[in-house]
Amino acid sequence: RPEYCWIKEHCVETSHGVLHVTVHGAGNVRRPAILTFHDVGMDSKSCFSTLFKFEEMQEIVKNFTVVHVDAPGQEDGAAIYPAGYQYATMDQISDMLPAVLQYFNFRTIIGVGVGAGAYILSKFTLTNPEAVEGLVLINVDTNARGWMDWAAQKLSNLTSSLSDQILSHLFSQEEMSANTELIQTHKERIAKAPNLINIELFWKSYQGRRDLNIERNNTFKCPVMLVVGDQAPYEECICTVTPCVVFIQMADAGGMPQLTQPSKLTEAFKYFIQGMGYSNLACSHSPDLCV
């Protein structure tokens, strides 16, 4: 099969533990790698397979190395953390990413993150601006939880199961009310996950995130594409941070555009990459001419 299709899994040692990383592609270091980071209650496969296996996305996949990073303990088959395990904070997970770039000899990346993964990549980009050429943030919230959010979460912890709490984060209220097949599939997958303890630790870590203070103290130095599905509660978070931001609200996408609208997201991603100077993506026979 074509060289760009090979898939290899790695365990990368970092200062805060081991990260499971899956690489698709031939490792061309002349262009940035596309590095993804998933949301809570998911792993890289469940979060990104629909998008990156989409037929029209192959034009991009052929010309870039794609690196899927799993948060600690979230990958399929991960060992269960023992009782009392001190899980990494959002800041610490962000601090693990430079080791991934060094391990694969990537000079720069184009980050693609969803939810908690978008927060982690935002933090990484603010800390390592020279390493990020572009950033796609889907349903990002760069703010810490407010007092009302904290109180609501405390009540939710008493009245709702872990899977219900996470589902209300992943999907819009309209989708939850409709109780679609997509909701049922994810609810069952989370409830029956063998690493449910690890998922809960990642969820609590995300709930304890700090405010990145983007509007006051920081700004992104690279182009940013913000994506939210309709009815998603994330659209006001950072859409006015910098003139480099492209803001896209997708109709009929619910809370997970990469799952429900891969065609629209792929088209937007293509234009975003071309705007960064990576045009002629289809020239797979002469990949060095694609830059």
| pTM as predicted | 0.88
Given pLDDT bands bounded at 50, 70 and 90, which one contains residue 143? confident
Lowest mean pLDDT among 105-109, 150-154, 248-252, 266-270: 150-154
250, pLDDT greater than 70: yes
Residue 279 has pLDDT above 80, yes or no: no
| Span 160-212, pLDDT tens digits | 788 888 998 888 777 888 878 888 999 999 989 999 999 999 999 999 999 88
Mapping DSSP onto H, E and C, the string for the chain reads: CCHHHCEEEEEEEECCEEEEEEEECCCCCCCCEEEEECCCCCCHHHHHHHHHCCHHHHHHHCCCCEEEEECCCCCCCCCCCCCCCCCCCHHHHHHHHHHHHHHHCCCCEEEEEECHHHHHHHHHHHHCHHHEEEEEEECCCCCCCCHHHHHHHHHHHHHCCHHHHHHHHHCCHHHHHHCCHHHHHHHHHHHCCCCHHHHHHHHHHHHCCCCCCCCCCCCCCCCEEEEEECCCCCCCCCCCCCCCEEEEEECCCCCCHHHHCHHHHHHHHHHHHHHCCCCCCCCCCCHHHCC
